[in-house]
Chain A
Amino acid sequence: MRTSNRIAAAKPAPVVEARLPAPPFRFPHRHLLGIDGLGPEEITFLLDLADGFVEQNRRADRKSSLLRGRTVINLFFESSTRTRTSFELAGKRLGADVINMQVAASSVTKGETLIDTAMTLNAMHVDVLVVRHSESGAVKLLSEKVNCAVVNAGDGSHEHPTQALLDALTIRRLKGRIQGLQVAICGDVLHSRVARSNIHLLNAMGARVRLVAPCTLLPAGIERLGVEVFHDMRKGLADSDIVMMLRLQSERMKGSFIPSVREYFHFFGLDYEKLKAAKPDALIMHPGPMNRGVEIDSDLADDVERSVVLQQVEMGVAVRMACLAALGGERGAAEAA
């Protein structure tokens, strides 16, 4: 397992290094509900842990017994293929029993369903609940009703912490650090939980965060979250090390948020021309699934020199293993460290 000195060493002052916990470090939270509130040492701990799992996942025998006998339930109130599969693989590779539950959020009155479901599952002695819900705050509400650990797999427009962690792991492995990098997050920030989690994480780790979007896709007061706001891709991307594109939901493509796909792509779609403003070695990231020709040029999306979308997917499994290990029992964190 990697130690965190790559990040600490990059910092000018040794303040954070001094605060780094002595191993074995235990993740000091019962749940992972968001990045907001996590400190750099906690983030670094999860990333270091995930680094080790990247190696495990590349071996022929990918399975360990870290969480053997534990039960992980993927409780998804909102449809998802990628994130659910990633969590499922993560749990199985750690030896846990993984059960997927897809709950149609619209079928019953949401509040009742959510709490009823939580109480029911709680009675079954589950160790980790991985929860996705279309409403912001729903995962927190559920976490208050159960005895097990809860991992937020995305709640409304609030947070998607494992996405931010996998993005961070991808950046750290490819750039060697996060501190001091300039990251441009582009597109539908308004509706994006990915953007919010990434803003928190990148700020905590000392990156400089820029947002590039039309005013209609920026939430009020966003600049108070420690970002610099741009409305022009060329200006916003200038000298950036990382360009993170956000997915534009199809129901927002035509109407009051943006006038049309062609206008959106013309001004905010990433293509080779606009990418010229970024650093020559800038990496392109996207949480997937991509809308080709909407937020990103199709050829650019496939350009293995620039786009690290598939690395992100690989890191996703490792990061989720780290989160399950860290929360899944004292055994998890201790053995991995």
Chain B
Amino acid sequence: MAVRAAPRAVPGRVAYINARLLDPATGLDAHGAVLTDGEIVIDVGPGLFAGGVPESIEVIDCKGACLAPGLVDMRVHLREPGEEHKESLRSAGESAVAGGVTSMVCLPDTDPVIDDVAAVEFVARRARLIGLAKVYPYAAATKGLEGRDVAEIGMLAEAGALGFTDADRAIGDARIMRQVLSYSATFDAIVIQHPEEPSLAAGGAMNEGELATRLGLAGISPAAEAILLERDMRLVELTGCRYHAAHVSTAEGVAILRAAKSRGLPVSCDTAPPYFALNELAVGDWRTFAKLSPPLRAEADRQAVVAGIADGTIDTIASDHAPQDQDSKRLPFVQAAFGGVGLETLLPITLDLHHNGHLSLLDAIGRVTWAPARLLGLPAGRLKAGAAADLILFDPDSPWVVDPDRFRSKSKNSPFDGRPVQGKVLRTVVDGRAVFVADA
């Protein structure tokens, strides 16, 4: 499918005035204005335009709404190439900017797998042509995500792969994982693990426990996460490789990472909104939209994840956007695919943490902007002169109800279907261009 470059006028100078400026990196939270010129922010400050805006500059009156760096979503399943009926780069881009995401990092579990330089370049080039949210690829840690042979990590990193992961497959073989970490350390590359011991989790459909027993479903024990994380911490210690645990979901997982960090290991982790906003009860009567990988856990695990976010053990929050079509979800629970869409609910569910008093507004925004950008070395997530003009204007309090039918994503499989939330994206700006403006 050919993609023509959208006609893109180079934006001139734009002044965003009367805004609540948020820059989590510096702790800036003040009323003021931002001036962009073309693709770049050239000035930020409380006193900016105190004497009025010169006539030659376009003015956007933010009316007191929050102006922050665009969200950086460090875990998105793209379905292009291979499964464009679930999500294309364009629909993912539209979904992203509607959710305030201006940079997303995509997983390599496409078809074909992103495990060679050509595939990395394909994704980067296609996303550039579409011109919505910026797309940065991870590449496979092992060839074909098969967990056997180390991928060409050096050349893939040179081609722009931000990190190395087998997406939703854990690298189960300890020797191979050691080689992946060791080889990645050669290039100071970061390895992202799906922390779930595969042989223990095999065949499971939801969290192991009373509810699974009542529903007659095979469970995935929380121990699957703990076992793999414990093993990986030892391998990180052996190899010195930078390691990131994706979507941590259990109390034990959080505790293992907390201990590893306090020992000075080069580890980090994220979680996804379902793991701090939902628990296994969301599975209810075999609700396949709540079938996620890892599975939604018990309430005590959810609370531990919240505590992990609050104390900084969990560095970042990522959507773990995993589009699935109806044919993949309208099935008996065991047969249904894992995953939920999340780009358009990342901001409001993250703001739950603020509204519930677990994080300051600035800190909540930091976990989805500056923190992932810093972790992956992305030039994003900052509201400062010289940064790319990737911005969002949002109202943190505005209430709405999640209605997947209104999602821009091609897939509607949200575990938050029908949930009342607060926090609405009003405008999304990528490289100085308004790529999303909410209906008034």
Contact = CB atoms under 8 A, between A and B. Distances in A.
A1 to B, nearest CB: 45
Nearest to B180: A256
Interface in B119-150: 143, 148-150
A117 interface: no
A215 B242 CA distance: 13
B186 A260 contact: no
Nearest to B184: A215
A187 to B, nearest CB: 13
A263 B143 CA distance: 13
B239 A259 contact: no
B183 interface: yes
24 contacts: A214-B154, A214-B182, A215-B182, A215-B183, A215-B185, A216-B183, A231-B187, A255-B148, A255-B150, A256-B148, A256-B149, A256-B150, A256-B179, A257-B179, A258-B150, A258-B183, A259-B143, A259-B150, A259-B154, A260-B152, A263-B153, A263-B155, A266-B155, A267-B154
Given A216-B150, A231-B187, A259-B149, 10 more contacts: A215-B182, A216-B179, A220-B238, A231-B185, A254-B149, A255-B149, A255-B150, A256-B149, A259-B150, A263-B154
Nearest to B175: A256
Nearest to A214: B186
Interface of A: 214-216, 220, 231, 254-260, 262-263, 266-267
Contacts of A255: 148-150
B206 interface: no
B236 to A, nearest CB: 13
A228 B239 CA distance: 17
Q: Which 9 A-B pairs have the closest CB atoms?
A: A256-B179, A214-B186, A215-B182, A263-B152, A259-B152, A231-B186, A215-B186, A215-B185, A216-B183
B149 to A, nearest CB: 5
Contacts of B187: 231
Contacts of A259: 143, 149-154, 183
Contact of B154 (A254, A256, A257, A266): A266
A214 B152 contact: no
Q: Is the interface of B mostly helix, strand, loop or mixed?
A: helix
A105 B154 CA distance: 37
A258 B143 CA distance: 12
Contacts of B148: 255-256
Interface in B159-179: 175-176, 179
A196 to B, nearest CB: 19
A254 B148 CA distance: 11
A255 B173 CA distance: 14
A262 B148 CA distance: 18
Interface residues of B, number: 19
Nearest to B238: A220
B182 A216 contact: yes
A259 B148 CA distance: 10
Interface of B: 143, 148-155, 175-176, 179, 182-183, 185-187, 238-239
B174 to A, nearest CB: 12
B149 A214 contact: no
A214 to B, nearest CB: 4
Given A258-B150, A259-B150, A214 B155 contact: no
B105 to A, nearest CB: 22
A26 to B, nearest CB: 46
A121 B153 CA distance: 51
A317 B187 CA distance: 40
A112 B155 CA distance: 47
Contacts of B182: 214-216
A256 B152 contact: no
Contacts of A216: 150, 179, 182-183, 186
A260 B154 CA distance: 11
Which has the most chain B C-beta neighbours within 10 Å: A257, A263, A267? Answer: A263
Contacts of A263: 152-155
A220 B238 CA distance: 9
Nearest to B240: A215
Contacts of A258: 150, 183
Contacts of B183: 214-216, 258-259
Contacts of B175: 256
A263 B185 CA distance: 15
A256 B151 contact: no
Contacts of B176: 256
Contacts of B149: 254-256, 259
Most interface-central of A231, A255, A256 (chain B CB within 10 A): A256
B238 to A, nearest CB: 8
Task: Among A214, A257, A262, find the residue whose CB has the most chain B CB atoms closer than 10 A.
Answer: A214
A225 to B, nearest CB: 18
A214 B183 CA distance: 6
A224 to B, nearest CB: 15
A33 B185 CA distance: 35
Nearest to A264: B154
A266 B176 CA distance: 22
Contacts of B239: 215
A254 B176 CA distance: 13
A215 B155 CA distance: 16
Most buried by A among B183, B238, B239: B183
Contacts of B152: 259-260, 262-263
Contacts of B154: 214, 259, 263, 266-267
Nearest to A267: B154
Contacts of A231: 185-187
Contacts of A267: 154, 186
A33 to B, nearest CB: 30
Contacts of B185: 215, 231
A189 to B, nearest CB: 13
A159 B153 CA distance: 31
Contacts of B150: 216, 255-259
A259 B140 CA distance: 12
A258 B153 CA distance: 9
A94 B221 CA distance: 72
B120 to A, nearest CB: 14
A266 B152 CA distance: 11
A257 B176 CA distance: 9
Contacts of A254: 149
A329 to B, nearest CB: 48
Counting chain A CB atoms within 10 Å of each CB, which of B153, B182, B185 scores highest? B182
B119 to A, nearest CB: 15
Contacts of B186: 214-216, 231, 267
A263 B238 CA distance: 24
A220 B182 CA distance: 11
A267 B156 CA distance: 12
A256 B176 CA distance: 7
